Amino acid sequence: MHIANEYYLIIDFEATCSDNGTVPRHEMEIIEIGAVMMNARVLEIESEFQSFVCPVRHPQLTEFCTSLTSITQRDVTDAPSFPDALRAMNDWRHGFNDALFCSWGEYDRNQLTRDCEYHGLEDPFPSGHLNLKAEFARIFGRGKGPGICEALKHVGLDFEGTHHRGLDDALNIARLVRHICLGA
């Protein structure tokens, strides 16, 4: 992976969800932003960002969502709105020049687009997006690409933290970026 950017901005979103259709996919909302800023030259994390987000379309989290993410109703009820949380993330990231938005797959990019459209906000990353899952699949010959846990296992690592938590997922993705960049 040869990218000319100074930083990789690795983002993972958690969103409202259900297992019974009560939260349709097109109405899912971001409830947690987890992000790390990785120096692309030395492949070290320089900063972290995390914020819960208060959902408005489906303000009551489903039992399935809480079980999957470990995010509780208390975590999101008094959390910032999506526009305020996005503003806080943008304020944090503006301390870093030339950062490329990266995520594991297209889900996070698509969810961000939906939430920005719903709230009438401009795309904060008009310069592009790098799908790290596709890069991993390309480099390691893994078809359409494995999930984070499977990719970690493939390179001999265990997941650290709580899976389906924004910051923990972003930190684990950053660990995979080192392998993607080094090709092994």
List the chain domain ranges. 7-182
Catalytic residue among 27, 48, 163, 164: 164
- Catalytic residue from among 2, 14, 44, 179: 14
Enter the tokens of residue 72.
Answer: 């509780």
Q: Identify the three-state secondary structure at position 125.
A: coil
| Distance from C-alpha of 16 to C-alpha of 91, rounded to nearest angstrom | 25
Domain 7-182 class, CATH top level: alpha beta
Catalytic site includes residue 14: yes
Provide long-range contacts, Cβ within 8 A and 24+ apart, for 158-165.
162/70, 164/14, 164/68, 164/69, 164/70, 165/14, 165/32, 165/34, 165/69, 165/70, 165/71
Which residue stretches of the chain have pLDDT < 50? none
Q: Is 44 tagged catalytic?
A: no
Give the pLDDT of residue 4: 77
In this structure, what DSSP letter does residue 179 have?
H
The pLDDT score that the predictor gives to residue 1 is 62
Q: What is the pTM of this model?
A: 0.95
